[in-house]
Structure 1
Amino acid sequence: MAKEPLKNSLRIALAQLNPIVGDVEGNEAKARAARAEAARLGADIVMYSELFLAGYPAEDLVLKPAFQDACRLALTRLAKETADGGPAMLVGLPWKEYENLYNAYALLDGGEIASIRFKADLPNYGVFDEKRIFDAGELAGPVSFRGVRLGLPICEDIWGEEVVECLAETGAEILLVPNGSPYWRGKTEERFNIAAARVTESGLPLVYLNAVGGQDELVFDGASFVLNADSSLACQLPAFRETVALTVWERQGERWACIEAPKETIEEGQEADYAACVLGLRDYVEKNRFPGVVLGLSGGVDSALCATMAVDALGASRVHAIMMPYRYTSADSLTDAADCANSLGIRYDILPIAEAVEGFETILQPLFAGRPRDITEENLQSRTRGTLLMSVSNKLGSMVVTTGNKSEMSVGYATLYGDMNGGFNPIKDIYKLEVFALCTLRNQWKPTGALGPDGAVIPQRIITKPPSAELRENQKDEDSLPPYPILDDILECLVEHEMRISDIVAKGHDVETVKKIERLLAIAEYKRRQSAPGVKVTRKNFGRDRRYPIVNRFRDDGRPALKIEESAPGLKPRQAVVDV
């Protein structure tokens, strides 16, 4: 058989797109449109993100034979279209092979499925459950594409050394890595470090193509990039936005180099957190086909930030704010809520709740007679508001936006069937101090593509006044909770870092305060299980990341860490003895 001629140039299009889980035909159409754009750019091949036809993560949906069939038929149709001599395609999908189900990446060229590779390293930590649904593929060499040997490691395959080492040893020349890599704070640097390590070890250039868009609690931030063989950054695509971009490659001696590609500036830090919340909310609303959203606007900082995010995500015409005052609602709150709504240009209604709250109290009076007023009556206010918002949602079709922050969700400072009602919470993974910071940030900056107004949109008094639920006279959050700088630091230690109480106390916190917060965190688990989904921003969110039992009697008693000797005499390797 004649040897393929050596190819000295290659034009690879990167389709950083926003697929919808389960919308196989829609994702197929997106792939087709991106290929047309790639052809216009003069590309030889266009690559798509991990499991593109299915959407990621499709979870147990990929176990349905009918869904597997739909993905395979879509792939077959796309393969046939490559007979036109245009760009080849690299497309991800679930692939059934006899009794095994794989996370696969297929090369489509010349009117057929030319090659296919299966993901070997299946992640099974944090938000990932791939070992539950997929079988691991065997280590495999590169695929041949028009005289170039392409290595196709899939996402997690580059987080260890073995898969890339195999590809390098079997002759790969370029690593093309499709990803479904969700955003969390600091993820960009983590990805770069992993990719650079594989480039350094293999001596091969690497294309890191990521999906973009929201899927339930996860947000995929895109931010795809290319590293040349010397680990220099050759391409950077935007974060949080779709794009089809061309990268131009040239063979330089024994190596390939990306010599032409876009280099965008991407959001980082708080800007990235804000953009992730907006994209997550937008896609949850759009992909579930809600006409708009409704939320309670209290005059407080949390609801003001959520309203602003909603306008940035959907536009002012699709956001409806409702103030629901009671006797404890201050005049300042009424003014601040109205000013915020006016700044955002959204519909704003006032529905007083006194008649409903007092009606409930009248109904309950025979059962509560002789008992003092307590948090029960406070919660009636919150539950009345929740009922009203859900009624508006039922009648008008808008989704209720839940507005509780991570500090509140952590310690249960929220009312079931009250302020916890709703369909989605954009700030569920944002601590209270970060809420203040994001409000200040948004008054100074607006993300690319945001639909809200420029400039300061959240009244300054909302940011500076002491937080209060306003469920009783002169109430302040700090009546029930430690000051937020203390509370948030303790919570981050307990939630994100799983620290011992003794270690948190060693940082300078009061031991009784830490024990109280640890107890509140534990007993609020039953509430969090019933809370609305929300955007994942931190490394450990409530939901997919942190899975604690509701029935749980363990409490950290604050003792110092035990001394563990790893190599005690007479024990087998990896066993340990505890020195009590």
Structure 2
Amino acid sequence: MSLPFDNLYRHGFVRAALCAPVMALAHPAANARASIDMARGAAAQGARLVLFPEMGLCGYSIEDLLLQTTLLDAVEAGLATIAEASRDIPALLILGAPLRQGPGVFNCAVAIQGGHILAAIPKTYLPNYREFYEKRQIAPAMTATADEITIAGQTVPFGTDIILPAEDNPDAVVHIEICEDLWTPIPPSSRGALAGATILCNLSGSPVTVGKAEDRRALADAQSRSTISAYLYTAAGMGESTTDLAWDGQLSAFEYGELLGEGARFSDEAEMLVVDIDVEKLAQERRRIGSFRDAGLGEDLAFRRIPFRLDPPGGPLPLKREIARFPYVPARPEKLDQDCYETWNIQVTGLMTRLRSTGLKKLVIGVSGGLDSTQALIVAARTMDRLGLPRSNIIGVTLPGFATSDGTKTSAWALMRGLGVDAREVDIKPLATQLLKDLNHPYSEGHNQYDVTFENVQAGLRTDYLFRLANHSGGLVVGTGDLSELALGWCTYGVGDHMSHYNVNASLPKTLIQHMIRWVIGAGIYDADVGATLEAILGTEISPELVPPGADGVIQSTQAIIGPYELQDFHLFQTLRWGFSPGKVAFLAQSAWGDAARGAWPRGIEGADRHAYDLPTIKHWLRIFLRRFFGQSQFKRSAVPNAPKISSGGSLSPRGDWRAPSDGLADAWLEALEREVPDV
């Protein structure tokens, strides 16, 4: 079935529902009915994986009732009822139940779909300490006498060596473990993940004590990180016996360390948490990380594969999960503060180390009054403070050209004076005019031909001067160009802003630099006058200032040419960090930046709700991004100066995250864009 563009299943997502019904203690028939109702509700929302708690058919806390024939017969009857009802519930249902096999009763997870009981997975590790006495009634998985079990007349696979792959999405593979299994040094789900499972499910009956919820979160989070998986956790809730314990019904879902969602705890009603899992992202990441593959060497990964089908709904199905508009900039204020602190210190300590290693005491930097040179200059000033050197050892030079505005030049001078650096100005127009004349460029004859030569003559002269000044003064040229510019090739190659002795900004995208400057202001690192200058710079239009304003007074705008940085940084992150196809990048961009997402971001990020982009606009700018990133700019990235990597979002150094041929073509990505993304 061909799915529409705005259906999440088309783009490698799977919707799952984690359920915590109100328990009818020791009443399997009632619990079966409640489970069916919740499963129908989940499937109606597009969920194709529905997970219930441990012993959900009868209750975890019924103790010796687990050895009563009447109870066990009723559990099987309840499973038969659910299996029959599942014929018209298009989802894989995973329920907890005690089952008889050989001489034991096993605590099991039972997978059901389309009228069939697909498999039963017994609990591997049984807690038998403190408040737990599970071994009194339950047999551990390793004591099973066969690898099959008969449930309600159906003979099905039985054991811990089972994973469930989706026939219609090879990246969606389910592994199931039960409660205590996660609390062990090597959880069964670790082997399941190495065998290919991307969605790890935990049916839990865990009672609650103070602080235990955070322990569960930490374990689920860590397991999702180490196994590069989604980890879904369901705990028993209302209705369990409170003879000696209490229950909170915790529902948590993590995807490779990202919290997808949590349900309400201590609810007196049934709770459901619906999450969208990016199984394609998980599979992509595993392909990149060779140590994940190596971890399976020598392991017995001979799992039985019991297939199921997702059969996603055919109409539009937008994402429920929030997609960060600014993937390089955390939305939570406390996380943003931490990231800015670390970014700042990576930049500063990187530059300190380079100065110490060279034995140089001076820095040379071109100061334009724009964002990038501002960030580089305030980093340089802090570096000198840390090294115990005077800030006057920084030679800051503003180099006005044919289009330099009074505003940016004023900001450059105010910043240099405020920081106490050795501030200088060199007018490059006379030398640029002579060079254009030597090139027989029409501008020298009075014609306003503002072509790439006109622009690059200015950019080249600025960098040439800075290098010669560094030679003359015994200094090191600090680069200012950022990650966004490297991605789009928006820099003058060689003797231009592409080159320096050391570039502190090369791994910072434009959107993060804006927030770094705001963070420096808020942290009070410099005095109020410098802070005011930084505020003024943040409000300045982003422009290379290489072409004079037109007759209408409109200045040269970078973003009008190469696209809005907020959107292009989004495209960069999804392409560089995850390797997504153009269709998926566009889908995610629409989910984050479309009109429907506008009201979903009261997140404290300045500008987060400023714009919305429709799909044709996203496609237009993504086309430009793909053409420039894959087809035009790699030769510049193949020859970049040293710079510290900043974030897991990646760098573009050929010695680091990104290695590609300089003569590569963008055709495959551009063709995929036209094929995968509709025009309306």
TM-score (normalizing by structure 2)? 0.42
Query: In proportion to residue count, which structure has more helix?
Result: 2
Give the alignment's TM-score, normalised by structure 1: 0.49
